[in-house]
Structure 1
Amino acid sequence: MGTSNVYASYDPTALFAGAFPVRHRPVTVASGSNAAGAPLKRGTLLGRVAATDKYVPCVATVNDGSQVPAAVLAADLDASVADAVGPAYFEGEFAGEIMTIDASWTIQTLQASLRQNKADLYVRTVGVLG
């Protein structure tokens, strides 16, 4: 009787850091969220501005609603001169070292905020890359 061994490979550049189900939907990213010629990268942590229902990079020190981590950008997106619609993950397990996270966060403070806000986003440390 033969056996079939399956080996998983580890990709240190992968955005996903586990097998938690991934769910995404389109979001509107507010105009001016990135500089011209420097699109937001896949893996950017997003927050939702309460007054406009648009998403921007999540910064812990602001007070417009977008300080609450809400989503992870699923594809590169340019919102430098106009609002842009693109996919964002609202559930999943992500590698913090691969994500684009504002300097106002550490992976530990981000994890605490996600728990406090009962988000289905999980950010893990996968180790030093490079």
Structure 2
Amino acid sequence: MGTSNVFATYDPTALFAGAFPVRHRSVTIASGANTAGTPLKRGTLLGRNSTTDKYVPCVKTANDGSQTPVAVLAAPVDAGSADVVGPAYFEGEFAAEIMVIDASWTVAQVQAALRQASSDIYVRGVGVLG
């Protein structure tokens, strides 16, 4: 055995859950998407309001278009009192246990909604953390 062997390590806090290509772009997070001073966390599942074209945490019971999961927040943002531009992933494979998914969803429901939307976002369980 030479020293050129490369071994992958498992990081239980990693948002990424696989080697699927990751693509991101800037989006506008709507003012009031979070409580001021409590930023949205990296990994938050986002939906897009079809009227304003702004992003908010995806809630299954919404009826403004944001009930459809379309992106994953790539960095913490505080849109508590004003719109904020921030990065969001539109492709990738993500660990459900690390993501911030609204309680109105189960992971299986998110997976089904992403499949139905023909999304390139894949959410999967990587096991119990902690």
TM-score under structure 1 length normalisation: 0.97
2: CA distance between counterparts of 1:122 and 1:76? 20
1: CA distance between counterparts of 2:66 and 2:59? 7
RMSD: 1.1
Aligned to 1:47: 47
Work out the percentage of aligned pairs sharing the same amino acid: 76
Q: How many residues align?
A: 130
1: CA distance between counterparts of 2:28 and 2:3? 49
Q: Residue type of the partner of 1:20?
A: F
1: CA distance between counterparts of 2:48 and 2:56? 6
Structure 1 ranges of 4+ moved more than 4 A: none
2: CA distance between counterparts of 1:10 and 1:3? 20
1: CA distance between counterparts of 2:107 and 2:97? 8
Aligned to 2:90: 90
2: CA distance between counterparts of 1:128 and 1:76? 24
Aligned to 1:116: 116
Unaligned runs of 5+ in 2: none
Q: 1:59-70 alignment to 2 at 5 Å? A: 59-70=59-70
Deviation of 1:4 after TM superposition, in Å, equals: 3.3
TM-score under structure 2 length normalisation: 0.97
Aligned to 1:100: 100
1: CA distance between counterparts of 2:4 and 2:52? 53
2: CA distance between counterparts of 1:129 and 1:68? 27
Q: Deviations over 1:83-114 (max 9, x none)?
A: 00000000000000000000011111100000
2:109 partner SS: helix
